C-alpha cells in the first residue's frame, strides 16, 4: 500500500510539473479510464496546488464501450458525441491544458464486428478533428501518462495473477517514466537536455530523406521541406514548456507526404482502439500505401487506410535507439505510449505543424505545399529493432550512417 501511494504521488507530481508544466490560473481537462480514479485524484490535488482554478475530468469505461458493440443498433456506429469534443476544443482554445491517462484493455474489441469497429472509429475521428488539430499544432500544453488497467496488466504479464500483474506493470511504468530516481523532476530535466542535443544535431544536418533497411524493410522516407526535428520537452503556442509524452525516448519530424518509397514491416504489434494488429506489412509508392496486410487485425487496418485521403500517407517519422530503457526491459506493452519509445516508428495520418519551420503561422494549403500530411487519424506503429539500419540522405543523395543495428552511430 505504501509503495502504491508512492507511485501515485510521483506520477502525479511529474504529470503536473514536467508533463504539463501547468501554470497558475490555467484550467485542466483530464481524460482517463475509470480504473484510474486514484491517479486522477492525486493529479487533481497537484493541479489545484499549482494554482489551477478548475480541473474537469472525463472518464471512459471499457465495459460500457464493449456493451455498445454487443447491444447497440447498427446505425449507431456512424455516430459520435461531437458536442463533447466541441466542448473540449472550446476549452483548449480558451487556454485549458489537456492531460490524457492511458491504460485500457488492448484486446477489448477482439472478436467484434470489424466493420462496426471501423465505422465507430471513423465517426469518432470526424467528431474529434478540432481537438486533434489543436493538439497536433501544440496550441496548448498537453501530456499523456499511464495507469495500469488490470486487463492491460494481464496482457503484458500473462503468467501472473491479476494482482501480481498490476504490481509488475506499475513497476514497469514507474521505471520507464524515469520516476525511480531520487529526484524525478531533475532526472527529466537531464533527459530532455540529452534529447535536445540530438534534435539540434539533426536540425543542423538537414537531411533530405531517411533510409530504413533490415529484415522485411527497405523504406525511403523523404522529409518535408523546411522540416524541423523535435523531441522531449517542447514549447506550446501559449508559451508553456511541456513534455507531451511521459515516457519519451524519441526524436521525430515530418515526412514529405509524396516522397515515400519502398516496403516496411512492423517490429511490434499495434494496439489500436481495442484491436490488436500484428505483423503489419506495407508498400509505398509516391508517398501512398499501395499494399497493406497484417497477420491479425487486417480488416481493421484496411478500414483505417480508407479513413480519408491522408490515411494512406505518413505524418511522422521517429528515431528511437534499441538501447532505450523501454526496449531493454524486454516487455511488449501493447500500448503505443510505451512501445513507440522502444523502437523507431512511423505514423499514418496527420502531421505535426510544429515540425515545419514557421508551421504555426502557415495555412493548411501552405503546410501541404511543404509536404505535411493531413488526416483525421494519427497512428504510430513500430518499425525499428536491433536489426534495422538507418541512413540520412543529403540533398545530393549521399548516405550518412545514423543508426546501425538500432543504435545511434
Tens digit of pLDDT for each residue in 279-336? Answer: 999 999 999 999 999 998 898 899 899 989 999 999 999 999 999 989 889 898 988 8
Largest distance between two CA atoms of the chain: 60
How far are the Cα atoms of 33, 115, 276, 323, 342 from residue 77, in angstroms, in the given order? Answer: 21, 9, 20, 42, 34
- For residue 352, pLDDT over 80 is answered with yes
pLDDT digits (tens, 9 = 90+) for 12-71: 999 999 999 999 999 999 999 999 999 999 999 999 999 999 999 999 999 999 999 999
Q: Which of 38, 26, 339 is nearest to 173 (CA)?
A: 339
pLDDT digits (tens, 9 = 90+) for 93-115: 999 999 999 998 988 888 899 88
Residue 1: its pLDDT value, please? 59
Q: Which of 168, 185, 211 is nearest to 333 (CA)?
A: 168
Return the domain boundaries, the chain.
2-176, 198-229+249-408
- Relative orientation angle of helices 2-14 and 37-49, to the nearest 10 degrees: 50
- For residue 372, pLDDT over 90 is answered with yes
Q: Please identify which residue in the block is written with the cell numbers 480508407.
A: 306
CATH of domain 2-176: 3.40.1830.10
Residue partners of 257: CB distance under 8 A and separation at least 6:
224, 287, 310, 313, 314, 315, 351, 368, 371, 372, 373
The angle at the Cα of 348, spanning 383 to 209, to the nearest 5 degrees, equals: 65
Q: How far apart are the first and last CA of the chain?
A: 44
Helix, strand and coil content of the chain, in percent to the nearest 5, comes to 40, 25, 35
Q: Which of 191, 187, 217, 203 is nearest to 253 (CA)?
A: 203
The 10 Å Cβ neighbour count of residue 135 is: 22
Residue 180: its pLDDT value, please? 86
- Relative orientation angle of helices 62-71 and 114-136, to the nearest 10 degrees: 140
**CA–CA separation, 334 and 107 (whole Å):** 9
Amino acid at each position: 500500500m505504501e509503495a502504491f501511494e508512492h507511485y501515485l504521488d510521483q506520477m502525479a507530481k511529474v504529470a503536473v510539473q514536467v508533463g504539463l508544466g501547468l501554470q497558475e490560473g490555467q484550467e485542466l481537462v483530464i481524460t482517463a479510464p475509470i480504473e484510474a480514479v486514484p491517479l486522477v485524484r492525486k493529479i487533481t490535488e497537484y493541479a489545484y496546488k499549482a494554482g489551477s482554478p478548475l480541473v474537469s475530468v472525463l472518464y471512459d469505461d471499457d465495459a460500457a464501450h464493449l456493451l455498445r458493440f454487443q447491444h447497440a443498433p447498427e446505425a449507431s456506429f456512424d455516430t459520435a458525441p461531437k458536442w463533447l469534443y466541441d466542448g473540449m476544443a472550446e476549452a483548449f482554445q480558451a487556454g485549458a491544458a489537456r492531460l490524457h491517462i492511458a491504460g485500457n484493455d488492448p484486446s477489448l474489441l477482439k472478436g467484434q464486428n470489424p466493420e462496426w469497429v471501423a465505422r465507430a472509429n471513423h465517426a469518432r475521428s470526424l467528431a474529434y478533428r478540432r481537438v486533434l488539430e489543436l493538439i497536433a499544432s501544440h496550441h496548448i500544453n498537453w501530456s499523456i501518462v499511464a495507469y495500469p488497467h488490470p486487463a492491460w496488466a494481464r496482457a503484458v504479464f500473462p503468467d501472473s495473477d491479476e494482482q501480481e500483474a498490476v504490481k509488475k506493470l506499475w513497476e514497469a511504468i514507474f521505471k520507464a517514466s524515469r520516476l525511480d530516481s531520487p529526484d524525478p523532476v531533475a532526472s527529466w530535466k537531464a533527459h530532455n537536455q540529452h534529447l535536445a542535443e540530438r534534435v539540434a544535431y539533426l536540425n543542423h544536418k538537414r537531411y533530405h530523406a531517411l533510409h530504413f533497411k533490415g529484415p522485411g524493410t527497405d523504406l525511403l522516407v523523404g522529409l518535408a521541406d523546411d522540416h524541423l526535428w523535435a523531441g522531449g520537452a517542447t514549447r506550446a503556442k501559449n508559451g508553456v514548456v511541456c513534455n507531451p509524452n511521459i515516457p519519451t525516448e524519441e526524436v521525430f519530424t515530418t515526412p514529405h507526404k509524396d516522397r515515400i518509397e519502398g516496403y516496411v514491416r512492423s517490429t511490434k504489434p499495434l494496439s489500436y482502439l481495442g484491436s490488436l494488429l500484428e505483423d503489419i506489412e506495407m508498400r509505398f509508392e509516391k508517398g501512398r500505401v499501395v499494399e497493406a496486410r497484417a497477420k491479425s487485425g487486417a480488416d481493421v487496418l484496411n478500414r483505417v487506410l480508407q479513413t480519408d485521403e491522408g490515411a494512406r500517407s505518413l505524418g511522422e517519422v521517429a528515431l528511437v535507439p534499441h538501447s532505450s530503457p523501454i526496449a531493454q526491459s524486454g516487455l511488449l506493452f501493447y500500448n503505443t505510449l510505451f512501445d513507440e519509445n522502444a523502437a523507431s516508428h512511423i505514423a499514418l495520418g496527420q502531421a505535426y505543424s510544429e515540425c515545419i519551420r514557421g508551421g504555426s503561422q502557415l495555412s493548411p494549403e501552405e503546410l501541404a505545399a511543404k509536404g505535411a500530411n493531413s488526416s483525421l487519424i494519427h497512428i504510430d506503429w513500430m518499425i525499428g529493432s536491433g536489426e534495422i539500419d538507418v541512413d540520412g540522405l543529403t540533398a545530393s543523395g549521399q548516405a550518412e550512417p545514423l543508426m546501425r543495428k538500432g543504435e545511434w552511430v
